Copies of this chain bind each other. A is one copy, B any other.
Amino acid sequence: MNPAPTESAAPGAELPWRGTLWYVLILVVALLLFWWVCERGERLSVGAGTSSAPLTKEVVDVPHHLLATMAVVIGLGFVLGRSLRWIGQPPVIGEVLAGIVLGPSLLGAIWPAGMDFLVPGRLTDPEGRVASAVQGVASLGLVLYMFLIGLELNGARLRRQVQSVVAISHSSIVLPFILGAILALWIYPLVSDPMVSFTGFAMFLGAAMSITAFPILARILTDRRLEKTELGEIALGCAAADDVTAWCLLALVVGVVRSQVASAAWTLVLTMAFIAVMFLIVKPNLARWIRRWEDRPGSLPVSVVSLTFVGLLVSALVTHSIGIHAVFGAFLLGAIVPSDSRLARDMNATLRDPVIFLLLPAFFASTGLRTELGLVSGWENILVTCAIVIVAIAGKFLGATLACRATGGSWGLSASLGVLMNTRGLMELIVLHIGLDLGIIGPKLFAMMVIMAIVTTLMTSPLLGIIVRSFPDEPAFRRDFAES
């Protein structure tokens, strides 16, 4: 090879005209050549039978509609969330409402063509390709979100307060569950499907009534700077215990409902086996594996990130294959990662924004598209909806308040805890989706329950403000609790 010649400085630095000359020369020659090639080429004919994809395809343009839907739901959710923040509401309310506004409840009713542009209906997209794409992004967002919720679950805090917290949490689940089941006696004949057994319907209604939204509860506490108070400690502990219990209960319900008769036991056995494997085999190995990266500088290695995503997807798939929902597996994997480990912190830091602000809005769009508030018409349906809302509030509020009072809490603490545990938010929508996906509930009950979820979420923050102001001397609201 030729040895390196003398010019070794940055090329072109001392000879600018050489670069320019070269440049112009190249361009002129290239244009002439290209003109000559096209001259010759246009006379060529294409052999028959080599035809490939047609130039104009008639299938619907999936990315176009998907990107448009996501842009609109994120943008509208942001605007609505901003507007509602002035009256003290958490931003998620705006996103939930944005989804509903864009669905058949509002946009579809007043401007069908607009809704059809975002997610084409039967006429433009008979195969439901765009809806499937939205659903795909939504399910990915949901699985990641539940993983994040699991990551935030602080096992140490749960164990520290285990006795009082579990008692309060479980009675705030049991009471709405039972009230929901009793309510089922009335509404089962009105809104259910003959294919669904009463027991399954009642269990699902009960479980759906007993949900508390951990992230929204945490958000409301932070907004009011109450997260470091005694109330904050207990409420976060109860909400975490609620999360674990409610999801176990729901997994049980789904197992029972889905696998009609004999295989219900099989689903339960498999679920238990999966939980046992995750806690007894995966958890210790994972903790050992994670510790290796605990003190290394820089960002997490690529292999850790890739393998975490694979593990997350596989865990979600296993629970999905067992017959309970994919979100359980994702939540469980998040829960067994130590919440104070570097993996949990780093994953949380990177995933939070893209999941919450980009992928999850697809879930809200998907929820909104399936929510037909128009189905809740006529006196009977409105009456049923009111009953659902009242039972949900009463069950959750009374369950938490009375249990806290019975285990020795003051009235101020008990009442504020009751109000906080009543917030359902996004978690309720996830549960309702599971019910709708599995056919346990129909679109009408879905719409009624969505109304319940929105009402209970909307009332939490203002009510908490009233209670905090009513008990000015309550020690549970003192902000120096964590330091003492």
Which residues of chain B are near A222, meaning CB under 8 Å? none
In angstroms, how far is the closest chain B Cβ from the Cβ of A305?
5
Interface flags, A179-194, vs B, CB<8A=1, else 0: 0011011001111111
Interface flags, A411-455, vs B, CB<8A=1, else 0: 111000000000000000000000010111111110000000000
Which residues of chain B are near A37, meaning CB under 8 Å? 178, 181-182, 184-185, 202
State whether B198 touches A136 (Cβ < 8 A): no
State whether A185 touches B67 (Cβ < 8 A): no
Kindly identify which residue among B184, B310, B349 contacts A71, using a CB–CB cutoff of 8 Å: B310
State whether B15 touches A408 (Cβ < 8 A): yes
> Is A55 at the interface (CB under 8 A from chain B)?
yes
Closest residue to A14 on the B side, CB-wise?
B408
Which residues of chain B are near A2, meaning CB under 8 Å? 411
Which residues of chain B are near A439, meaning CB under 8 Å? 52-57
> Is A91 at the interface (CB under 8 A from chain B)?
yes
State whether B410 touches A5 (Cβ < 8 A): yes
Which residues of chain B are near A233, meaning CB under 8 Å? 10
> Is A170 at the interface (CB under 8 A from chain B)?
yes
Interface flags, A327-371, vs B, CB<8A=1, else 0: 000000000000000000000011111110110000000000000
State whether A407 touches B174 (Cβ < 8 A): no
> Is A167 at the interface (CB under 8 A from chain B)?
yes
At the interface with chain B, which of A101-109, A272-280, A470-478?
A470-478
Cα-based distance from A378 to B463 in the complex (angstroms):
75
> Is A30 at the interface (CB under 8 A from chain B)?
yes
How extensive is the interface on chain A, given as a class?
A: 35 or more
State whether B38 touches A199 (Cβ < 8 A): yes
Kindly identify which residue among B143, B195, B305, B475 contacts A8, using a CB–CB cutoff of 8 Å: B475
> Is A228 at the interface (CB under 8 A from chain B)?
no
Which residues of chain B are near A41, meaning CB under 8 Å? 181, 184-185, 188, 198-199, 201-202
> Is A123 at the interface (CB under 8 A from chain B)?
no
> Is A75 at the interface (CB under 8 A from chain B)?
yes
Kindly identify which residue among B12, B56, B190, B441 contacts A167, using a CB–CB cutoff of 8 Å: B12
In angstroms, how far is the closest chain B Cβ from the Cβ of A385?
15
Closest residue to A177 on the B side, CB-wise?
B30
> Is A394 at the interface (CB under 8 A from chain B)?
no
> Is A26 at the interface (CB under 8 A from chain B)?
yes
Cα-based distance from A132 to B50 in the complex (angstroms):
26
Which residues of chain B are near A57, meaning CB under 8 Å? 439
Cα-based distance from A290 to B15 in the complex (angstroms):
39
Which residues of chain B are near A441, meaning CB under 8 Å? 52
Cα-based distance from A416 to B353 in the complex (angstroms):
40
Cα-based distance from A303 to B476 in the complex (angstroms):
32
State whether B10 touches A164 (Cβ < 8 A): yes
In angstroms, how far is the closest chain B Cβ from the Cβ of A459?
18
Cα-based distance from A339 to B10 in the complex (angstroms):
24
State whether A189 touches B47 (Cβ < 8 A): yes
Report if A316-B67 is in contact (Cβ < 8 Å); known contacts: A16-B163, A135-B133, A354-B351: yes
Kindly identify which residue among B4, B193, B349 contacts A350, using a CB–CB cutoff of 8 Å: B349
> Is A23 at the interface (CB under 8 A from chain B)?
yes
> Is A403 at the interface (CB under 8 A from chain B)?
yes
In angstroms, how far is the closest chain B Cβ from the Cβ of A39?
10
At the interface with chain B, which of A58-66, A150-158, A261-269, A281-289?
A58-66
Which residues of chain B are near A377, meaning CB under 8 Å? none
Cα-based distance from A233 to B13 in the complex (angstroms):
14
Q: Told that A30-B174, A30-B178, A46-B193 touch, could you supply 10 new A-B pairs with CB distance under 8 A?
A: A4-B471, A4-B475, A12-B408, A23-B167, A55-B439, A64-B326, A71-B317, A75-B306, A78-B303, A137-B140
